[in-house]
Structure 1
């Protein structure tokens, strides 16, 4: 009598990041870029906090050990396929490259592939690549077209710049401009865009790095 094949549990892509809005937005974008990965298998986690930008080199091993302990406990219940770690560069391109290297080096001892997701300056710089998608979130906004044909990775204080960019001239003082909680809806609009994987309005090295990272999952 043949034994029944063992059913393997689906493996999860864990998403760590600076806050819930960032983690959820990344999950939306990854789901759109990798339709072969079920949305249910993308799991944003509030803990552990894996940020490394301001961690001195001597403290990185202990930091990685603490992060690893939390993920190993999670893996007992839900097998992990890989880990996406988001952290804003808080600096213009090419600062994202050094932070990507620091994240992936700090956690290279983890038993799963670790992929860094690092926007330059902040995730809001990526939203400038898709002005029409941004405007769709709130019809009262004007589309942020100020950076047509430019490198949005050079925008300093991208979050504050986006708040100003969507505000039409003469808007009332109580005008509802961009807030971080809008980022998930913006990601959803971008996910439905034909230019998701190849934006033509502007350019961003950190967005391209993100696309290449997602392709490797």
Structure 2
């Protein structure tokens, strides 16, 4: 089998911020030389069971078509598809299986679901060093005792947690915005934080890590 170094991984997601952040996370998990990631603007990943079967099928088929097109230049080894759960854990289990099954049935090779519970901001709570490196004025966050996948409305929770408690500092401090996800994920990669054990827990993040690494290992 061809080495993973000769392969291309396509990344789909809800927004460009999410796609680029997921690529940084994947790069942090697998620093193997030659792994190439390509963000794909369309289609958005609409593969929830709650959505119409026809819509889910067409989305999966559209992704499969893009895999074939991109494979003409470089073999596509895998597809990573991001979709926030918008629910707490264990909602990620059903959503991840739904995404991967839909893509697999459409002929997509080695699909990997990135399905953060509640939202991708819950994953950023796992990495306080990356948050601090993104904005030195943000309040320090320590979630080592928390299962962050049980936090509802994770984006709002993160915004509030990062606001300085001092009113004067808060007035001068930038608010977290979704585009910060890219820099946060870059800092996770640069600081090599994915292997750190002393952090909060997220079953949805652990599931993504296990699935992605398993796919990459199988391609070697």
The answer to whether the superposition gives a TM-score over 0.5 is yes
For residues 125-156 of structure 1, give each alpha carbon's deviation from its aligned partner in whole angstroms, at most 9, with x where no partner exists.
011111122011111111222x3311000111
CA distance in 2, matches of 1:75, 1:12: 8
Which residue is 1:121 aligned to? 118
Q: 1:14 to 1:172 in 2, by over 3 A?
A: same
Counterpart contact for 1:31–1:37, Cα < 8 Å? no
Which residue is 1:93 aligned to? 89
Counterpart contact for 2:87–2:118, Cα < 8 Å? yes
Q: 1:13 to 1:49 in 2, by over 3 A?
A: same
Consecutive unaligned residues in structure 2, runs of 5 or more: none
* Structure 2 residue 135 is matched with structure 1 residue 142: no
TM-align CA RMSD: 1.9
Larger displacement relative to structure 2 (122-131 or 104-113): 104-113
Consecutive unaligned residues in structure 1, runs of 5 or more: 1-8
Counterpart contact for 1:152–1:204, Cα < 8 Å? yes
Residue aligned with 1:77, SS: coil
Q: 1:165 to 1:70 in 2, by over 3 A?
A: same
Which residue is 2:211 aligned to? 213
* Structure 2 residue 49 is matched with structure 1 residue 66: no
For residues 11-40 of structure 1, give each alpha carbon's deviation from its aligned partner in whole angstroms, at most 9, with x where no partner exists.
20111111111111111111121111535x
Query: Which structure is larger by alpha-carbon Rg, 1 or 2?
Result: 1
* Structure 2 residue 16 is matched with structure 1 residue 20: yes
CA distance in 2, matches of 1:76, 1:55: 32
Number of positions where the alignment pairs a residue of Structure 1 with one of Structure 2: 207
Larger displacement relative to structure 2 (175-184 or 68-77): 68-77
Alignment TM-score, normalising by the size of structure 2: 0.86
CA distance in 1, matches of 2:18, 2:197: 20
